[in-house]
Amino acid sequence: MLFSFMKKLLIVFFIFINTSITVGQNLVPNPSFEEYSQCPWTTGGFGQLYFAFPWHNPSIGSPDFFNACDTSQHMSVPNNSFGNENAHTGIGYSGIYCYYAWVLAREYIQVQLKDSLLMNTRYCVEFYVSLAEKSTYGVNNLGAYLSINSINSNSDTTIGLSPQIINNDMNPLTNKTGWKKISGSFVANGGEQYITIGNFNNNPASDTVFVDSTGWNGGISYYYIDDVSVYQCDASVYIAEAGKNVIICKGDSVQIGSAPKPEYYYSWHPSTGLNDTSVANPLTSPLMTTTYYLKQKDFKFDETIDSVTITVISCEDTIRNSLTIPNAFTPNSDGKNDVFKVQGLNVKSMYGKIFNRWGQKLYEWNDINTGWDGKYNGKDVLQGVYFYVVSATFGDGKIEEKHGSVEVIR
C-alpha cells in the first residue's frame, strides 16, 4: 500500500518537474529583420523601417531598413550608403542615428512582442549593434525600454525614459567591423508588451567616444541593429548536435543532425552531398569520406558548432558490420520519415522494442525492413521522447545490442 502510494507520488512529481521546464522562445517578432513587405527603395530609401513589419518608428525620426534585396546598394546588405556590414544573421538589419554633436536628435525602433511579460518573472534582453563606417562618434550607453503601452513621441529628440537594459560600461560600442552584443536582464512588473531600442540619454549624459574624423561632418553616430531577443532567462537552450559518426556504403544515404527546434537557425558546411544546408537534420549522400560542420544559432542567436564524419566504403570489396538508428521521426503520413527504422550493413537478423518513459512496452518487431509507425494499440502516441532496445546479429555471427531514445515529432 505504501509502495503504491510512493510510486504514484513519484510519477506526479516527475510530471510536475517535466512540465515546469520553460520552453525557449524569443518573444520578438521578425527579430533579425528578414521578413519584409517591400524591398527598400532603390532611390531615397531612408526611413523605411515599416517595410520590416511589425517594426515601427515610435517618434518622428526616420529609422532605416536594410536588406540585400536592394540591388542599388543604397539600402543593401552588406554595402549601403552608411557603410559596409554583413548581417549578424540572414540578409537584413535596421539602423538608427543615436547621437548628433551639434543638436539633440535621436531615432528609435520599436515593436510589439508576441506576448505580454509575466509579473515577477526575470527576462533576458539581447540585441546586436555595429557602428556604421561613416560615423564620427561611438555611443556606449545604448539600451532597451520595455513598456506596457506603445511609445508615441511627436518629436525627434530624446525619449525621456529610463531603459531597463543598458549597455555595460566595459563593453565599448566603437567597432565598425563585426557586431557587439548588448544584453541584460530585469524582473517584469507584468504586462509589458513593447520593446524600444536607442539612446535614451541627452547629449551631456551620453557616453560618446570620438572614433573617426573621416565620417560625416558635424559628429554623428549611426548604428546598425540586428537579432533582437526577449526571453525568460530560465528557458531551455540546446547546443548544436551534428549526430554520431557513421559508416555507409558508397552510393547510400544517411540522415545527420538532430530533431529541429523552433526558432533555431542551421547552417551546414560543406554542402557537398547534402540535400539541404539550412535544416536541422539533412540527408547526405557523400561520394567520399566527409566531415560536416553544423553551425547552429538558438532562439537568442547564440552560436554553437558541432561536427560529424561520414565514412564512405566500397561495400563490394569489404563487408562491415554497422547499425544506424535515427534519433527522431515524423509519423504524419506525408511519406517522409514516417517510420522509425533501423538500418545496417551485413545484418542477418534483428529484434527491436519500444518503451515509454514509464517502462511500458509499446511495440516490438523483428524485421529490419519494417519499423515502428508511432502508434500504440492502433492510436498515435503523443509527441515526445521514447526509448528503444535493438539487438542485431550480423553475418559473421557477432551480436550487437543498442539502447537509446527517439523523439516523435508531430
The CATH code of the domain that includes 84 is: 2.60.120.260
Q: What is the C-alpha to C-alpha distance for residues 237 and 256, in angstroms, rounded to an integer?
A: 20
Residue 194 pLDDT greater than 90, yes or no: yes
Q: What is the C-alpha to C-alpha distance for residues 191 and 181, in angstroms, rounded to an integer?
A: 26
**Same-domain pairing of 293 and 366:** no
CATH number at residue 394: 2.60.40.2550
Q: Indicate whether 34 belongs to any domain.
A: no
**Same-domain pairing of 309 and 353:** no
Domain with 287, as residue range(s), is 238-318
**Same-domain pairing of 288 and 350:** no
Query: Among the three residues 208, 232, 256, which one is the final residue of a domain in this structure?
Result: 232
Q: What is the C-alpha to C-alpha distance for residues 227 and 233, in angstroms, rounded to an integer?
A: 17
Strand 361-365, strand 347-355: pairing: antiparallel
What is the DSSP code (8-state) at residue 39? P
Look at residue 275 in the predicted model and tell me its pLDDT.
Answer: 95
Residue 346 pLDDT greater than 90, yes or no: no
**Same-domain pairing of 185 and 122:** yes
**Same-domain pairing of 228 and 98:** yes
**Same-domain pairing of 204 and 330:** no
Q: Indicate whether 401 belongs to any domain.
A: yes
- How many H-runs (helices) and E-runs (strands) does the chain carry? 1, 28
Query: Among the three residues 273, 301, 318, which one is the final residue of a domain in this structure?
Result: 318
**Same-domain pairing of 286 and 378:** no
**Same-domain pairing of 193 and 101:** yes
Which pLDDT tens digit goes with each residue over 80-107?
A: 999 999 999 999 999 999 999 888 899 9
Beta-bridge partner residues of 75: 80
0.85 surpassed by pTM:
no
Q: How many CB atoms lie within 10 A of CB 101?
A: 15
Q: Which residue has the higher pLDDT, 345 or 286?
A: 286
Query: Among the three residues 318, 353, 373, which one is the final residue of a domain in this structure?
Result: 318
Q: Whole-number mean pLDDT of the chain?
A: 89
- Considering the chain, what percentage of its residues have pLDDT values greater than 70? 92
Residue 74 pLDDT greater than 70, yes or no: yes
SS3 346: coil
Query: pLDDT class for 14, splitting at 50, 70, 90?
Result: very low
Residue 28 pLDDT greater than 90, yes or no: yes
**Same-domain pairing of 84 and 191:** yes
**Same-domain pairing of 247 and 310:** yes
Q: Which residue has the higher pLDDT, 6 or 101?
A: 101
Q: How far, in whole angstroms, is CA 362 from its chain's centroid?
A: 34
* CA-wise closest residue to 408 among 350, 353, 326: 326
Residue 321 pLDDT greater than 90, yes or no: no
CATH number at residue 268: 2.60.40.10
- Match 561613416 to its residue by C-alpha cell: 134
Q: Indicate whether 249 belongs to any domain.
A: yes
Answer left, alpha or beta for residue 223, where phi above 0 means left and psi between -120 and 50 means alpha: beta
**Same-domain pairing of 93 and 127:** yes
Which pLDDT tens digit goes with each residue over 222-268?
A: 999 999 999 999 998 999 999 999 999 888 999 999 999 989 999 99
**Same-domain pairing of 242 and 337:** no
Name which of 58-62, 65-69, 158-162, 396-400 the model is least confident about. 396-400
Cβ density class 122-150: b for 16+ within 10 Å, e for less: ebbbbbbbbbbbebbbbbbbbbbbbbeee
Which pLDDT tens digit goes with each residue over 37-72?
A: 999 876 566 789 999 999 999 999 899 999 999 988
Look at residue 344 in the predicted model and tell me its pLDDT.
Answer: 86
Q: Indicate whether 208 belongs to any domain.
A: yes
